[in-house]
Amino acid sequence: MRVIVVSSYGVKINCRNGMLIITRGNNKKVISPADIEQIILTTSGISISTKALRTIMRYGIDLVILDSKGLPSARLYLPYITRTTDSRRLQYVAYTKGNVATKYAKSFAESKILNQALYIKYLGKLHGLNDLISESNEILSLLNKLSKVSGDISSTRKVIMNIEAKAARRYWGSLAILLPKDIKFDGRDPDASDEFNKCLNYLYGVLYSDIFKALCLAGLDPYAGFLHVDRSGKPVLTFDFIEMFRVSAVDSLLIDVFRSGFRAKIVNGVLDPHSRGELISRYSNWMRRVVRVVNGRSNELRNHIRSYAYRLASSLRNRKVFKGFVERWWI
């Protein structure tokens, strides 16, 4: 199944005789909708006919419209949602029980820290950098502090996030060592102007969209989280859940492509359309790589996201411990 990325101005998407027709100037592509899994629109200036939209929905194609920062402006997909009432009701109940909410918050944080530590150790062994292996061990040591956290979520949230922050500083400092000097990456800062941080922001936005969809399809409320504080209009469960997948879905991809020579172009403070299209294409391919999970089965990364969303919903319904996603790197 294909992912179609449309990143150029002036593109038109129509439908004729049951086939999708993508036109730009004199260039025309005719594609069977049966071969398409997802269509991603990354820029403005794209027109799409109602007939094409109906065909896209009839075939269950995921249509995503991104803004210049990679965040979804809109998303159309068929609502294959199961057990919505049960899952959401118990999700809200779990939050009201502060000690239960803390367990979920700790699980998300533990998975994030483990993924950071194991990836850094993998890079250290791959490149023969003992300093990175030492940093990985320091990150892992923070899990001892996390394991001791208990109590109501209102009192534990800040403690958990402080532990996360300590791990993150070591993690990003380690990644900075591996990036080419011309990137001028000094650490993670969403407001920084360097191209690596811009690319992180953009692909995190794309990942947010995939996480949001997975949670909805699992019957969960993406706006009711555990670790992050509820804020009006903010999908905070998405913010919780995404922490488990940042390293595998985005960070490792960007380390790979930047070390291989990729460079992004920034215009007026945002990535240009070509850079966005290139990143989306690479991200789509990266999400199809087969990933081994610690104490779990191998599967494509995109399927792990869906699987763990369903596991979270099942955990809430069955009141069982939720074990988060941790990639098992070849170390």
Same domain as 304, residue 190: yes
Asked if residue 287 belongs to a domain, the reply is yes
**Residue 84, pLDDT score:** 65
pLDDT-based confidence at 217, cuts 50/70/90?
confident
**Residue 314, pLDDT score:** 94
pTM for this prediction: 0.86
**Residue 213, pLDDT score:** 87
**Residue 87, pLDDT score:** 86
Give the residue-averaged pLDDT of 66-71.
80
Same domain as 92, residue 61: no
Domain holding 247: CATH number?
Answer: 1.20.120.920
Asked if residue 76 belongs to a domain, the reply is no
Q: How many domains does the chain have?
A: 2
Give the residue-averaged pLDDT of 78-88.
67
**Residue 85, pLDDT score:** 78
Asked if residue 75 belongs to a domain, the reply is no
Residue 252: C-alpha distances to residues 111, 148, 165, 196, 249 (Å): 16, 30, 19, 12, 7
Give the residue-averaged pLDDT of 229-241.
88
Question: What whole-number percentage of the chain has pLDDT above 90?
Answer: 69
Domain holding 40: CATH number?
Answer: 3.100.10.20
Exposed/middle/buried for residue 205 (C-beta within 10 Å: 0-12, 13-18, 19+): middle
Question: Structure tokens of 315?
Answer: 């955990």
Same domain as 208, residue 310: yes
Same domain as 199, residue 149: yes
Render pLDDT for 99-142 as a digit per residue (tens, 0 to 9): 999 999 999 999 999 999 999 999 999 999 999 999 999 999 99
Same domain as 272, residue 146: yes
Cα–Cα dist 138/167, whole Å: 8
Cα–Cα dist 203/69, whole Å: 8
pLDDT-based confidence at 240, cuts 50/70/90?
very high
Residue 318 has pLDDT above 60, yes or no: yes
Give the residue-averaged pLDDT of 261-282.
93
Asked if residue 298 belongs to a domain, the reply is yes
Structural domain boundaries enclosing 7: 2-66
Name residue 245's amino acid.
Answer: F
Question: What whole-number percentage of the chain has pLDDT above 70?
Answer: 97
Cα–Cα dist 249/58, whole Å: 29
Same domain as 27, residue 96: no
Asked if residue 91 belongs to a domain, the reply is yes
Asked if residue 328 belongs to a domain, the reply is no
Same domain as 290, residue 210: yes
Name residue 210's amino acid.
Answer: D
Same domain as 166, residue 62: no
264 or 59, which is more confident: 264
Same domain as 294, residue 185: yes
Closest by CA to 7, choosing from 57, 35, 46, 47, is 46
Cα Rg, the chain, nearest whole Å: 21
Cα–Cα dist 119/26, whole Å: 46
Same domain as 275, residue 179: yes
Asked if residue 324 belongs to a domain, the reply is no
Asked if residue 78 belongs to a domain, the reply is no
Same domain as 152, residue 33: no
Same domain as 255, residue 136: yes
**Residue 77, pLDDT score:** 66
Tokens 């990729």 found at: 262
Distance of CA 268 to the CA centre of its chain: 25
Give the residue-averaged pLDDT of 199-203.
96
Render pLDDT for 152-163 as a digit per residue (tens, 0 to 9): 999 999 999 999
